[in-house]
Structure 1
Amino acid sequence: MAISFEKAFGLHQQGMLVRAKRAEVIASNIANADTPGYKAKGMNFQEAMQQATLKQQGGIARTHEKHFDIKSSIQAEVEYRVPNQPDTGDGNTVDVQVERNLYLENSLEYQASVQFLTGKIKGLKKAITGAQG
């Protein structure tokens, strides 16, 4: 009986890809906090996970060998974030404290997914090898 890693790992592997992309967007905001005219960006995690769910369920199929296999990539839409603070005069909408909090939250959720997948892999390894402990 073959082991299906997609079934074993569920959406956690896709969630990690979405969280990695989200970390890039947030880090870009922090890096550009002092750039005049820079507009803070963000992505909707729930929408990105819905797209990942549809892709995992086979919502988009590759019909020709020359078509791109988009199941393996996350096509999360990055949008401009509505600023929480008034314009400081330079047109920059990045609130560094908000971005740092979002980055920390995203990092903790990413780490939780890593720990979950590590446990799943250990369980699969134990099932395959029959090893104790």
Structure 2
Amino acid sequence: MPSLDQIFALNGGALQLRAQRLNMLASNIANASTPGYKAQDLDFDRAMQQAQNGGSLEQAMTVHTGYRVPLQPSLDGNTVELSVEQTLFAENAIQYRTTLSFMQDQVSSMRRALKGE
């Protein structure tokens, strides 16, 4: 029988990576008018793949974090494109919520099984 760590490792890791990405995207949005600010993002898919292959989440976050290349560079050196960041933030927030709901369903199923329902 798998341990609770094994059962929740995949989705728990996904939540941590999604939360980190939400923080990055929020920082990008908050600094949309800061001259010279360079937008960062986390390649979630690659980071998650590395974590699943035995790498640590921290290492995966570090290795797969990079600077965004803007479609239209700003004259002040800021690489934040507000509409892009807002769209990515909304998409990532929905994916975070979906993963959280899946984990809640897993816990509910385990509770019902323990109660013999």
TM normalised by structure 1 equals 0.78
- Report the structure number with the largest CA radius of gyration: 1
Matched residues in 2 for 1:115 and 1:81: separation? 30
CA distance in 2, matches of 1:20, 1:74: 13
Higher helix proportion: 2
Q: CA RMSD in A?
A: 1.7
Work out the number of aligned pairs and report it.
Answer: 114
2:86 to 100, 109, 112: 100
> Residues 53-93 of structure 1, C-alpha deviation per residue, up to 9 Å, x if partnerless?
023xxx6xxxxxxxxxxx5x4331321111111x2311101
Tell me how far apart the structure 2 counterparts of residues 88 and 48 of structure 1 sit (CA, whole Å).
29
Residue 95 of structure 2 corresponds to 109
Moved over 6 A (4+): none
Please name the residue that 1:4 is paired with. Answer: 3
Return the TM-score normalized by structure 2: 0.88
Gaps of 5+ in 2: none
Identify the residue that residue 28 of structure 1 maps to in structure 2.
Answer: 27
